[in-house]
Structure 1
Amino acid sequence: MDQLCRKNALRILGAFAVIPERDTDLAGFQTLLMLGPDEPAFWSIFKSSVEFQEPKDPMDHWSKRVIGALADQLSGRALFPSDGPPYPPFFTWATRTQRCHSSPVNLLVHDRAGMMVSFRGALALREAVALPESPASPCLSCADTPCLTSCPVNALTPEGYDVAACKSHISSTEGRECMQGCKVRLACPVSKTFGRLPAQSEFHMRAFVGPDIT
Structure 2
Amino acid sequence: MIVSRGTVDDISAVLAVDGLILRGGFRFTSQDTAPAGRSGMPARSILLVGQAGAAPWPHFLRWRERQPQAIADPLDTWARGVIGSVAEKFGARAVSPSDRPYLPFQQWAMRAEGLRPSPLGILMHPRYGLWHAYRGALLFEEAIAIPAPEASIHLCDACVDKPCLKSCPVDAYAADGFTHQACLAHVRGADGAPCRSGGCLDRNACPYGSDYRYPADVQAFHMASFAGL
Whether the 8 Å contact between 2:52 and 2:131 is mirrored in structure 1 is no
How far, CA to CA, are the matches of 2:216 and 2:91 in structure 1? 36
Displacement of 1:38 in angstroms is 4.4
Q: Can you list the C-alpha shifts for 1:66-100, whole angstroms capped at 9, x where unaligned?
A: 0001111111111111211x211112212222443
SS in 2 for 1:24: coil
Q: Can you list the C-alpha shifts for 1:139-188, whole angstroms capped at 9, x where unaligned?
A: 12223321121212101123211111101111122211112111111222
Report the equivalent of 2:192.
175
Report the equivalent of 2:28.
18
Report the equivalent of 1:87.
102
User: Given the alignment, which residue of 10, 14, 18 partners 1:4?
Assistant: 14
SS in 2 for 1:189: coil
Stretch deviating more after TM superposition (117-126 or 67-76): 117-126
Stretch deviating more after TM superposition (7-16 or 71-80): 7-16
SS in 2 for 1:113: coil
1:124 has 2:139 as partner:
yes
Displacement of 1:134 in angstroms is 4.1
Change over 3 Å in CA distance of 1:35–1:109 after alignment to 2: same
User: TM-score, normalised to structure 2's length?
Assistant: 0.82
SS in 2 for 1:37: strand
Report the equivalent of 1:166.
183
Report the equivalent of 2:153.
136
Change over 3 Å in CA distance of 1:59–1:105 after alignment to 2: closer
Amino acid in structure 1 at the alignment position of 2:48:
M
Task: Kindly report which structure 2 residues correspond to 1:1-214, keeping only aligned pairs within 5 A, or say none.
Answer: 1=9, 2-26=12-36, 28-49=42-63, 50-51=66-67, 53-84=69-100, 86-125=101-140, 126-131=142-147, 132-179=149-196, 180-211=198-229
Change over 3 Å in CA distance of 1:157–1:47 after alignment to 2: same
Whether the 8 Å contact between 1:67 and 1:78 is mirrored in structure 2 is yes
Whether the 8 Å contact between 2:117 and 2:124 is mirrored in structure 1 is yes
Q: Tell which has more relative contact order, 1 or 2 (C-alpha 8 A, sep 6+).
A: 2
Change over 3 Å in CA distance of 1:105–1:177 after alignment to 2: same
How far, CA to CA, are the matches of 1:20 and 1:146 in structure 2? 42
Amino acid in structure 2 at the alignment position of 1:21:
Q
Structure whose alpha-carbon radius of gyration is higher:
2
How far, CA to CA, are the matches of 2:185 and 2:55 in structure 1? 31
How far, CA to CA, are the matches of 2:165 and 2:73 in structure 1? 31
Q: How many residues align?
A: 210
